Structures are given as C-alpha cells and as structure tokens.
Amino acid sequence: MRRKKDKTVLQCLAYISPWIIGFLCFGLFPMGYSLYMSFCSYQMVGEPKFVGFQNYIDLFTTERYFLKTIENTFVFMGFTTVFGMGLGLGFALLINSIPKFKRFFQTLYYLPAILPFIAGTMLWESMYAQYGILNSVLNTVGMERVKFMSQDNAMRSLILMAVWGNIGGKITMFLPAVAGVPSELMESMDLDGASSWKKFVHVTLPMISPTIFYLLIMDIIGGLQAYGPMMMLGGGTATRTATLQIYNYAMTDRMMGYASAYSWIVFVIVMIVTFIFFKFGGRKVYYADGD
Amino acid sequence: MKLFKKIVCITLALGLALSIAACETGGNGGGGGGNDDDDYFGGGAGGKTVVRFYSFNNSETNAELKKALKDDFYVKNPDIYVQTEISTGSFYTNLLNDFAGKVEADVFGMEPGEIYPFLSAGYLEPLDNYFAASETVSLDDVWDINKAAYSYDSDTKTFGSGKTYAVMKDWTTDSMLFYNRSLFTADQLAMIEADDDGDGVADPLTFAEFETLCDQLLKRSGSTITQYSFLPGLAEAKVLAQFITNAGLSWFDPANGYQSTFTNPAVKEVVKYYYDILGKNDVNNVGSTFMPIFAQGKVAMIMGGLYCIEAYGLDSLDLGVAYPPVKDDSIECKPYTTGCVGFAISSRSKVKDAAFKFIEWYLNYYGAIDARKCNNFPAMKKYANDMLNPEVNTDPVRLRCTQFFHDSLSKAVVIDRNPYCSQASLESVEFAYTGEYLEGEMSFNEFCETLDYEINKRVRQAKQAE
Amino acid sequence: MATTKTKNAFGDRRVRTRIKNIVFYTILCIVGIMMILPTFVMVTSSLKTYDEYYSMVFTFLPKEWAFDNYVRVFQENADFMTWIGNTLMHMVTSTAICTISSIFVAYGFAKFRCKLADALFMVLLCTMMIPWAVTMIPSYIVWARLGMTDSYWPLILPSIGGSAFYIFMFKQNMRGIPNEMIEAAEIDGANSFRRLWWIIVPNCIPAIVTMILFTSMGIWGDYLGPLIYLRQPYKFNISLGLNMLRAQTTQGKQDTPMLLAASVLMAIPSVVMYFVGTKIFAKGISLQGGLKG
C-alpha cells in the first residue's frame, strides 16, 4: 500500500513538472522580484532603493483615486461577468435547441471575439466618436448626438464593448457542456412531465456546473485585471481601473516601486474574492466522476 | 480511434509545414536572418564594427535612412555597420529598461525634456573630446542652444555649461504662432503684425490682444464651429507651458523642491486663460488632427514649428508667422524649442568612436538635405544659411516664414524641464484631466489642485528613488 | 395510458416545437445582426475610398468600391508578409508546446490525488490572479540581462509551463471522465502514460481543440507581449505591424480604410481557424461515447 502511494506522488510530480519549472522561472521569480520592488523606490535608473512600507502607506493615505479605481474595477468586472455569463448561457441554450444552423450561429456570435484587439478597439473608437458611426446614425434618425465617452456614459460604453466581444467565447464554452448533458436524463424528465424551467434547473444546470464554475472564476479574475479597453478608448476617471493605473505608473511615469505595491494590493484583493467564490461555489459543483 | 489518429497526424503535419514555411519567409527570433537584402545579422561577424542606433523613426524614415547609409555612409566607412532599431512603444521607458538590463543601443535619440534620468545615472558619454578630434564637425559649428539643452555641469547641477552629453540634429522654435492671413480683417492684421518697437519684426501679442483676436475670429453656425480661432497644434501641455513661461512664470518651483506651482494664483490665472480659449474652441471635440484642419483653412491661428509647413502643406495658405503671446509688454517673449532632438552615446558602449562617426556623418549628410528641403534648421549653422537663400528656398511664402523662424532662434529657450517630473509625465497628467475639466465635470479649482497633486506625487516619488 | 398520452402529446408537441423554433430563430437572427453590424461596418468601411470615408456622411455601402485598399496593404508595406510569417511561427510553436504541456500537467492534477497536488493547484490558481503588469517589468529585466530581448524567445519559452487557464479547464474535463474507464485500462495493464494518451485525451478532444483554437487566435492577435520585446520592424508580428501603420500619419490623417482592410485581412485567418476547429469539435462530441466507445 505504501509503495503505491509513493509511486502516485512521484508520478503526480512527474506530470506536473513542466508547470513547476515554468512557474519557478517565469512566475515565482518575477513575482518575488516585484514584491521586493514594492518595498523599494525605483525609477528605472540605478538600483532599487529600499524604503520599507512607504509605498503602501502612500497608497493608502495619499493616493486620491485609489478607492475609485478599485470601485471601477469591480463595477466593470461585475457587469461584464453577469451579462457575459447570463447572455452567453442563454444563447448557448437557444443555439443548442434549434435543429439546424447551429455552427452558423455559433460562428456568427463568435466573430466579434475573433477580431484582433487592435482592430476591435479601432472599430469601437470610431463607433463611439463624437462624429462617429453611432452618432451619425442617431443624427439620421433625427435624435441628438450622444457623448458616449463622457464621465457618465464611458463605463457603460466600455461594458457594452466588452460584452459584445465576450459572448462568443462563452457560447463556445457553454455549447459542448450543454450538448453534453446526457439525453437520457432529459428524456426521463420529459416523461415525468417536467417543465422546461424545471429541466433546466435540476438537470442542465448541475450537469454544466463545472463549466459555469470555471468560466465564472476566469471571468472574475480576468475582469478584475482589465485595462485594454480603458487604455485604448479613454474615459478618464470614470473608467480608470486599477490595472490601468498600474500600467500608467509603470510605463509612463516609471514609478516602479509604487506601481509594484499597487499591483500587490490588487493581487491580494483578487485573491480574497476568488477564495470566497471557491469556498462558496466549490461545494455546489457536481462532478461526474463523483468526487 | 482511427479517425482521431488521422486528425492528430494531419494537424501536426500542417503545423510543421506551416512553421517551416514561416521560418522561411519570416524573420526568426533571436538570431535568424533579417530579410533585407543587404543587411545581415550578427554583431561583429564579418569583421565590421556594429553600431546599434535606436531612434524614433517610423519605418518610412528608417527605410530612407538605410538607403542613405548604403549610398553614402558605408562608402565612406566600409568597416562600420549601423543596425537601425525603432520603437513603437514608449521610447524612453524602453531605453531605460535597456540600460537596466545592460543591452542598450550605442547611439540613441534624446530630447532635452527627457534627459535627466540618464544624466543622473551617468549613462551618457560626454561628446566634447570627440568633437574636438573631428575634422568635419566642431561644437562651435552647432547652435548655442545645444549648450542650453545638453551641456550639464554635474557639480552645480545646472545646464548651460559643463560637458556636452548630447548633440541636436536639428531644431526650430515650435510654439510659434501660424496664422491664416486670409481669415483676418485689416484691423486684425494690423494688430498681429504691429511693430511698435520698430525692430523690423512684428511684436508678440499681449494676452489681452490675443484673447480679443480669439473671440473675434471664432465663427459659428448654430452650435457648430465653422472657423476655429486657435488650436494648440502641439501637445496641449507644451503649449500651456509656453504660455506660463511667457507670463514670466514656471509650472514648477526650483526653490520649493521642484514642486508644482499650479496652486499659485498667478499661474492659475494663466491656466484659466489658456483653457478658456481652448474650451471656446471646443478642443475636446476636434480630435487630434489640428494641423490638417488649419491646412484646410478652417483655423485662424495655430502653434507649430517650421517643419509643419512642409509636413502639412501649409504653404498653400496665405501664411503668417508671429511670436507666441506674452502676458504684457514688459515680459520678454521666450519661444520654446521643444525640439533639439538629437543623439547621445551610451557611456558603456564599446564602439564609441564608430558611434561618433555615425553621428558626424548624420549631421553633415542630413544637414545638407534638410537645408534643401527647408525643414527644420540643421544643427550646423553653415547649412542653415542655405535655407535663407532665395535660390534654394524658392517658394516666397516659405522663404518669408523661414526668415522669421530664423530670427526667432535667437530668442529661443529650451522647454522648462523638471528633473523630477519628465515632460511625458506632465503631458500624461494633463491629458488625463483636461477632458473632464473642459466638459464641466470638474471645477477649475479642483482641476488645478489635481494637477498640483499629481505632479507633486511624481516629484516625491522621483526624489525618493534618488 | 402512457401510449395515449404520448399520442396526444406528440401532435401538440410538433406544433409547439415549430413555434419554439421560429421564436428562437428570430431572436438569434435579430441579436445576430446586432453582433455582426460592427464587423460589417468595418468591412464596408475598408472598401470605401479615402475621401468617402472622411466625408463625414455615413453610408452603409460604399459608393465607389475601393478594392485596391487591399492590394495597397501589401504594396505599400513591404513587411506585411514577413509579419504574417512571424506570427505564424510564433503561433504554431507556442500553441504546440503549451497544449502538450497543459495536458500533461492537468492529468497530473486530475488523476493523482495527493495533498501536495492540492496545495500546488491552489498555487496555480493564485498565479492566474497576478496582474500582468506586476511580472512584466521584472521579466523584461531578466530577459534583457540574458540578452534575449528583441526576439521571440521571451514569448515562446514561457509556454513550457502550460497555461493555468487551460490546465484548470482540462482538469475539470478530465475529472468528468468516469473512473471506471480508467480503472478498466489499468487492469488491462496500461501504465499512466498510456492511460493518458489512449483514454483520457480522446475524451477531451473538444476541450483540447478549444484550447488550440483559442490559444492560436490569442497569439495571432497578441499585442502587449510582442510590444515589449520586439524592436526591429521585420520582427514584428501582425498586431504590432498594424499598430505601427496606425501610428503613421501622412498629413495628419490616417489612411483608415486601408488600415481597416489590413485588419480584415488579419481577421480572416482567425475566422477560418474557427470554422475548421468547430468541425473537428463537432466530431469530437460524438467520441464522447464513454464506456460504449
């Protein structure tokens, strides 16, 4: 018995080894270095200078927009996740139910996500511009021009753009899961005379719960680190997420230590949120292999 | 199972074929050949000294440079090879990253507003000896402004004297006021071209006169603007700095640890004045293409440099040039040169002599060309004189403007530089909040206070890292 | 009793299904149009002439079809083919290494349970949460010190570690495979590798294909990574090249129609990849027969 256990551990490690190597070299070491830098002051010249907790103190006491960026980050993540997952699952169910053209619709919805980052942002830039496409459409209909990137509207505009691009990916992930629900279970529910809603809640949802869980976690983690759309489209204080602020501090202002401290705070927040979800949601996920 | 195997095999084969094909056509990373026909890769291979040159060029100008090197430089210096590198990202951050990683280029572009970190870290090689030893160029041939821009005395920590750490390649005053004469009435022309002190050169407008002109020249049809009175032309922050300098002030206070002065009432007055004009001209909504609109004749006044004439085709207009406005007649007009873009050599370079040969060649070769194109004023004064020659500079509009710019060079000053807050940082801060202020989301006092806060934050961080 | 019910229900059900289908199709089509509209506008704008695009009058279809925009993309930019080649090379190598690695690692986590593995998995999840900006600068400095910047090595080598994203997904997937199948193979004498290759992987094909698809497309459009490491224009990948074109302005105006044409060209391979992928993918579903296969 003991031998088998040892062998298992060894095999386990053997298979995991590529990741371990990658993690040590490209994960742990840079992380450690950046943690060290968060306690230093470094402007890309000379050597980092150790300043203890000064960066963190500055962040918590003097950084005026600190809470605002955290708030923006959570708002963006929250809305894109809810809309993305909800609409994604909804459309996946729709597409799964129709007899023909499944792949056509799947591709149609996924097209936005295929657009390369730059092309997509250029496109939405021209859509939201003052004299851009959406406004000229409104104009033709006789309505007033709307400032899409004003302080009030900017976040909504970005969320729309993000969801538009996200849905396709969700549908692609949900479709196989939904299709993979064993038809016997569905049929037995039908025979019992269950309504569609009941079927959905009691059969489909549990069967696809691993996928939902996975996508949810990924979405949360990704959403909390979003900065691409904000960077390219702007939006000022209303859309400045934490990671965007970190990027600006690091790349433009070269405040490496400060930016590192900032990013470590964001990291801790993300970790806490994910941990909560894991604990709370992990129990509700049903695995086919009975674990 | 069989089908699965088939799919896997096909995919792998395809992938392999694709990647081989790609390696053929595309450049491989880290050591493969480039696909320029006469370029080759490999430092020092073949016996040539390789000089790495990192510049702001885009691919077009870079291609021109490579051709010029082939036609001229390699003929004169067959044992040197110049490896041209460009960057599409943040140039100076990349450069500093390179220095940190000890893989910096040998020669690289430099600007007065960004040179501080390099100076304080001792990354730059003093060029005085190289110039002294050279037969074709000497520092005396170069405009005096180079001293103000790039000579630094590390003991007193001041510019203007000491060793020369970089050399400009060309320059112009770039916050001069271009105006479209055909849009001005006779009275307005009289105002802008008045020469009360009789020195043969039009006096700068006062802030009050400038404001009057701006109000008069702004034309609307309903709520849309049909004619703009003034647009910045350059980065807004640079133009703001120009107005502040011409009010006899500065956006930071050296005596107060280089902290910002945006809470100082006198400075705030200038800021309000400037942004009011921008606001009236709906600057937020014009986008970023100011010069082309001026070229189309829809703007009365705009700030720019000599190169704008060639670059944007401004000579098709009835063009006038004036000095940037001053607060009142008692203040001296100090037009900025934000340019003086030049070259520096890394103090750790192993091929400094060859690097300098490249710089030397560049100053001579492009000096002659720029003069013929009448773009910016070349670094070497002798070529600049060519530009004032009517036989070289045949277009009368251009000639007149060139003469005016030439005169302004004697008054030019290097842009105000804060050792603890780079020009790029100032611009990014300004850019971040101007939109909100002009839209009315922020009050004026909040705006100034935020600028002050952001700048001081950067100053504090930079000082901490010293 | 049951038969009668089914008979009645059968008649009703046909009609109900018909209506259901019509409703579903309508919804999908309407929303589909909304989804496709921006892309459609992009394509039509790419076929407009320069003047028509900037004329500020919005037209759905171009009055003059400027197909030469597409030709000009290649004509005016000598490096365009090179960029494509670079991106392909990067894509194939990185995806291959990453996928194989992820499969192995996920297998280790999914089927060999031990406390150490659980702990390491938590670590894996944590790594996904690191803001990219944090590791960006230290990584750059390390690569610079090794002298390997301005190349694709910093972009390709890290794929040895697999992708935490997909390791997670594969693990979920592999856990979904009933243990009985695997134990059956074990009894037959298959060692762990054979179990992986012959049992688990075939059952994970949809997931694996999805990963290859997504990863490839991600690398095709990768911008931020190459931006930091690549300098020379002939080494750029497509995104970087496109961005460089975008930043080039002649007379202050971008040649947006041509840029959009380049973007469309850039997007086409992704679409093709996707179509091919979903075909394989659809076949993959039928392989999920489990014990019956």
Interface probe with C: pick from B39, B88, B307, most Cβ of C within 10 Å: B88
Residue in A with minimal Cα distance to C121 = A16
HEC string of B171-226? ECCCCEEEEEHHHCCHHHHHHHCCCCCCCCCCCCCEHHHHHHHHHHHCEEECCEEE
> What residues in B contact A252, CB-CB < 8 Å?
90, 93, 424-425, 428
Task: Please state, as a whole number, how many other Cβ atoms lie within 10 Å of the Cβ of residue B328.
Answer: 12
Please indicate, yes or no, if residue B12 is contained in any of the structural domains: no
Angle made by CA atoms B379, B384, B386, in degrees to the nearest 5: 150
Average pLDDT over residues C262-269: 84
Q: What is the ipTM of this complex?
A: 0.74
Summarised one tens digit per residue, pLDDT across range A163-173 is 998 888 888 88
Please indicate, yes or no, if residue A20 is contained in any of the structural domains: no
Of A41, A64, A129, the CB nearest to B465: A41
Q: What is the pLDDT of residue A287?
A: 63
Interface probe with C: pick from B10, B35, B59, most Cβ of C within 10 Å: B59
3-class SS shares of chain C: helix, strand, coil, % to 5: 80, 0, 20
Please indicate, yes or no, if residue A8 is contained in any of the structural domains: no
Same domain, B289 and B379: no
Strands B158-159 and B151-153: antiparallel
- Give, in order, the Cα–Cα distances in Å from C290 to each of A101, B349, C185, C285: 27, 65, 13, 11
Backbone angles phi, psi at B349, to 5 degrees: -65, 150
Say how many Å lie between the first and final Cα of chain B, rounded.
66
A268 interface with C at CB cutoff 8 Å: no
Same domain, B368 and B267: no
Angle made by CA atoms B64, B68, B71, in degrees to the nearest 5: 135
Partner-chain contact A151 B441, CB within 8 Å: yes
Q: What is the pLDDT of residue C11?
A: 63
Same domain, B439 and B299: yes
Please indicate, yes or no, if residue B26 is contained in any of the structural domains: no
- Rounded Cα gap, residues C286 and C205, in angstroms: 10
- Name residues 45-104 of chain C within 8 A of A (Cβ): 45, 56-58, 101, 104
C137 interface with A at CB cutoff 8 Å: yes
Same domain, B428 and B330: yes
Structure-token pair, residue C136: 């960006």
Looking at CA atoms only, how far is residue B461 from chain A in angstroms? Answer: 7
Domains of chain C, each with CATH number or no CATH: 2-68 (no CATH), 78-292 (1.10.3720.10)
Structure-token pair, residue C263: 């973007």
Partner-chain contact C133 A119, CB within 8 Å: no
Question: How many Cα atoms sit within 13 Å of C69 on the Cβ side?
Answer: 26
Residue in C with minimal Cα distance to A192 = C2
Same domain, B141 and B277: no
Q: What is the pLDDT of residue B40?
A: 37
CATH number where B229 lies? 3.40.190.10
Helix (H) or strand (E) holding A50: strand A49-50
pLDDT band at C278 (very low <50, low <70, confident <90, very high): low
Please indicate, yes or no, if residue A33 is contained in any of the structural domains: no
Residue in C with minimal Cα distance to A126 = C42
Average pLDDT over residues C125-142: 72
pLDDT at C291 over 50: no
Q: What is the pLDDT of residue C23?
A: 87
Task: Please state, as a whole number, how many other Cβ atoms lie within 10 Å of the Cβ of residue B49.
Answer: 18
Structure-token pair, residue C211: 């990963």
- Rounded Cα gap, residues C84 and C269, in angstroms: 10
Please indicate, yes or no, if residue B31 is contained in any of the structural domains: no
- Rounded Cα gap, residues B17 and C96, in angstroms: 13
> What residues in C contact B290, CB-CB < 8 Å?
252
Partner-chain contact B15 C96, CB within 8 Å: yes
- For residues B262 and C284, the model is more confident at B262
- Rounded Cα gap, residues B9 and B1, in angstroms: 12
Partner-chain contact A43 B461, CB within 8 Å: yes
Please indicate, yes or no, if residue B443 is contained in any of the structural domains: yes
**DSSP H helical ranges for A39-179:** 54-61, 66-97, 102-114, 117-128, 133-141, 154-179
CATH number where A181 lies? 1.10.3720.10
Please indicate, yes or no, if residue B449 is contained in any of the structural domains: yes
What range does the domain containing B329 cover? 176-334+420-464
pLDDT in tens, chain B (466 residues): 445 445 544 555 555 555 444 443 333 333 333 333 333 333 344 678 899 999 988 777 888 899 999 999 999 888 999 988 887 667 888 888 788 778 889 999 998 888 888 988 889 999 999 999 988 888 888 888 888 889 998 888 888 888 999 999 888 888 899 999 999 988 888 888 888 877 778 888 999 999 999 999 998 887 778 899 999 887 788 889 899 999 999 999 988 889 999 999 999 999 999 999 998 988 876 666 788 888 888 899 999 888 888 888 888 888 889 999 999 888 889 998 877 888 999 999 999 999 999 999 999 888 888 777 767 888 888 888 888 888 877 888 888 888 888 888 888 888 888 888 888 888 888 888 888 888 888 899 999 999 999 999 999 888 888 7
pLDDT band at C95 (very low <50, low <70, confident <90, very high): very high
- Rounded Cα gap, residues B387 and B403, in angstroms: 8
Q: What is the pLDDT of residue A132?
A: 66
- For residues C179 and C7, the model is more confident at C179
Residue in B with minimal Cα distance to A48 = B465
Interacting residues of C9 by C-beta distance below 8 A, sequence separation 6+: none
Please indicate, yes or no, if residue B167 is contained in any of the structural domains: yes
Q: What is the pLDDT of residue C248?
A: 65
Same domain, B433 and B307: yes
Please count the residues of chain B: 466
Q: What is the pLDDT of residue B43?
A: 38
Q: What is the pLDDT of residue C131?
A: 63
Summarised one tens digit per residue, pLDDT across range C46-82 is 888 777 766 656 677 777 888 888 888 888 777 888 8
pLDDT at A185 over 60: yes
Report for B320-334, B386-400, C104-118, C218-232: range of highest mean pLDDT: B320-334
- Rounded Cα gap, residues B370 and A235, in angstroms: 40
Q: What is the pLDDT of residue A49?
A: 87
Partner-chain contact B25 C141, CB within 8 Å: no
Same domain, B317 and B368: no
Helix (H) or strand (E) holding C177: none
Partner-chain contact B436 A237, CB within 8 Å: yes
What's the DSSP call for residue A202?
A: I
> B24-27, long-range: CB within 8 Å, 24+ apart, which pairs?
B24/C85, B25/C81, B25/C82, B25/C84, B25/C85, B26/C82, B26/C83, B26/C84, B26/C85, B26/C86, B26/C87, B26/C88, B26/C89, B27/C82, B27/C85, B27/C86, B27/C232, B27/C234, B27/C235
- Name residues 20-59 of chain A within 8 A of B (Cβ): 41-46, 49, 51, 54
Q: What is the pLDDT of residue C247?
A: 66
> What residues in B contact C137, CB-CB < 8 Å?
97
Please indicate, yes or no, if residue A141 is contained in any of the structural domains: yes
- Rounded Cα gap, residues B178 and B176, in angstroms: 6
Helix (H) or strand (E) holding B99: helix B91-100
Summarised one tens digit per residue, pLDDT across range A196-236 is 777 777 777 888 888 888 788 888 888 888 888 888 787 78
Looking at CA atoms only, how far is residue B404 from chain A in angstroms? Answer: 36
- Name the residue with tokens 């008979």: C7
Structure-token pair, residue A116: 């390369």
Partner-chain contact B464 A151, CB within 8 Å: no
Please indicate, yes or no, if residue B194 is contained in any of the structural domains: yes
A171 interface with C at CB cutoff 8 Å: no
- For residues C140 and B127, the model is more confident at B127
Helix (H) or strand (E) holding B440: none
Same domain, B380 and B424: no
Average pLDDT over residues C136-144: 74
What's the DSSP call for residue B418?
A: B
Partner-chain contact C283 B295, CB within 8 Å: no
Please indicate, yes or no, if residue B360 is contained in any of the structural domains: yes
Interacting residues of C222 by C-beta distance below 8 A, sequence separation 6+: C90, C155, C237, C239
Summarised one tens digit per residue, pLDDT across range C25-47 is 888 888 888 888 888 888 887 88
Partner-chain contact B441 A51, CB within 8 Å: no
> What residues in A contact C278, CB-CB < 8 Å?
103, 106-107
Domain count within chain A: 1
Average pLDDT, chain A: 82
Chain A, chain B: beta-carbon pairs less than 8 Å apart: 75
Summarised one tens digit per residue, pLDDT across range A22-35 is 888 888 888 888 88
Partner-chain contact C149 B7, CB within 8 Å: no
Partner-chain contact B27 C137, CB within 8 Å: no
- Rounded Cα gap, residues C203 and B185, in angstroms: 81
Task: Please state, as a whole number, how many other Cβ atoms lie within 10 Å of the Cβ of residue A52.
Answer: 9
Q: What is the pLDDT of residue A288?
A: 52
Backbone angles phi, psi at B340, to 5 degrees: 60, 30
- Rounded Cα gap, residues A16 and A27, in angstroms: 15
Summarised one tens digit per residue, pLDDT across range A84-136 is 999 998 888 888 888 888 878 887 888 887 777 777 877 787 778 766 667 77
Q: What is the pLDDT of residue B270?
A: 93
Q: What is the pLDDT of residue B54?
A: 92
The radius of gyration of chain B from alpha carbons, rounded to an integer in Å, stands at 25
> What residues in C contact B22, CB-CB < 8 Å?
85-86, 88-89, 92
- Name residues 213-242 of chain A within 8 A of B (Cβ): 234, 236-237
Chains that touch B (3 or more CB pairs under 8 A): A, C
A10 interface with C at CB cutoff 8 Å: no
> What residues in A contact C129, CB-CB < 8 Å?
221, 224-225, 267, 270-271, 274
Looking at CA atoms only, how far is residue C18 from chain A in angstroms? Answer: 10
Interface probe with A: pick from C25, C137, C179, most Cβ of A within 10 Å: C137
Same domain, B317 and B387: no
Same domain, B209 and B275: yes
Partner-chain contact C133 A243, CB within 8 Å: yes
- Rounded Cα gap, residues A3 and B317, in angstroms: 90
- Rounded Cα gap, residues B110 and B359, in angstroms: 13
Torsion angle of the four alpha carbons B22, B23, B29, B35, in this order, in degrees rounded to the nearest 10: -100
Looking at CA atoms only, how far is residue A133 from chain B in angstroms? Answer: 15
Domain boundary residue among B368, B384, B406?
Answer: B406
Q: What is the pLDDT of residue C293?
A: 30
Same domain, B148 and B187: no
Interacting residues of C270 by C-beta distance below 8 A, sequence separation 6+: A114, A115, A116, C217, C220, C221
Please indicate, yes or no, if residue A180 is contained in any of the structural domains: yes
- For residues A147 and B54, the model is more confident at B54
Partner-chain contact A253 B97, CB within 8 Å: no
Same domain, B105 and B151: yes
Q: What is the pLDDT of residue B166?
A: 92
